[in-house]
Amino acid sequence: MLRPLMIKNTRNLLLLAVGILIGLSLGLAHGVLAEKPEALGQDLPWQDARLLAEVLERVEREYVDPVDDHQLLQAAIRGMVSSLDPYSAYLDGDEYDEIKISSSGQYSGVGIEVSMQDGQVVVVAPFEGSPAAEAGIRSGDVIAAIDGVAVNTTTLADTIGRMRGKEGTAVKIEILREGRTEPLQFTLRRSRVQLRSVKAEMPEAGFGYVRIAQFSETTGDELINALRSLRKSNGAPLKGLVLDLRDNPGGVLEAAVAVADAFLDGGVIVSAKGRTPDSKFEMNATPGDELDGAPIVVLVNGGSASAAEIVAGALKDHHRATLMGRTTFGKGSVQTVMPLSGDRAIKLTTSLYYTPSGVSINHRGIAPDIELERDPNPPSVPPPADAPLLQRDAQVKRALQELKVPTVGARGGLSAATR
């Protein structure tokens, strides 16, 4: 029975790495040379491989503090991938798990959205029906400790990771609440939590508001359910919709296509070009418009990126919606997550995508049809979180006004103005 060779000596490990790299280079070169004889004079990167080994060995031997060989090589891999562009990355086990959670929209935990505020981990809101909500944890509560250990106030990732865990297991959370002199103790049993990326409400009779925070695998279905719920509450078809994509960082490509498809009867939604067959594609809308042509205003800003820009670009190019706000981020590339051994992965840029008009928005963004300047005199005291939407958000109020301006659209009926 063969056993794996255990290499403890760093020099041997690095020499082995050099050998593999050189062998790989020669193998790749052989494949190239078989097709292109003129490439015989091409330089092989064995000098770079030797330099890598030399640097690693020097760091291992002479750096002021001892360096773990594994961490050093992991850092080299991470640096290699991240040097390609701002979005390609090497993902260790924890990072890969986070990607899977954000994509699937599900995880096992207590169901709390948190943020870092003034050096404290503050509850933004418990998810409806989650263990946290049922236990009585509230928006504004401060998480002080988890399982008796104080939270790390320098990073949210540690707090989030400690609240997650195997379904059915218990976790103790210590809460500081305004108006209470003593901490509150909660023992919660972790359960399956569904992340909700879509929120909807009716700010005014006949007009809907839908906020998409990010794009996960469930976003398309969530949107359809939200629109149907709004129609039911209205007792009639909607007269118009404000679609809020501000500060939406993107997410799953297919979810963005599903959202755009919900409002389009046909035509290209997005196309992409890359080096491999899988990275070249075109996605089209299917018949059926959930709003039956009612006008849409899409709110965007500099934080609207990636999948959010796919939706905004498709609706704008098809003259289906008016974009309002500020120029979007300009992330016009597609990343593919490729699993590796040991529950790790790389997130690699594989395509550039194009809006239906064939435009790449990479590093440029999408300019809104109606630009909204930042309020030069914001209120010194913001409205309370439970105030009506139109009181809390001046841009939503402005978008609602735009929905009420009738113009003749491409369908021959009333639609949002396109400028």
Catalytic residues: 306, 317, 331
Cα 216 from Cα 254, distance rounded (Å): 9
| Whether the Cβ atoms of residue 331 and residue 305 lie closer than 8 Å to each other | yes
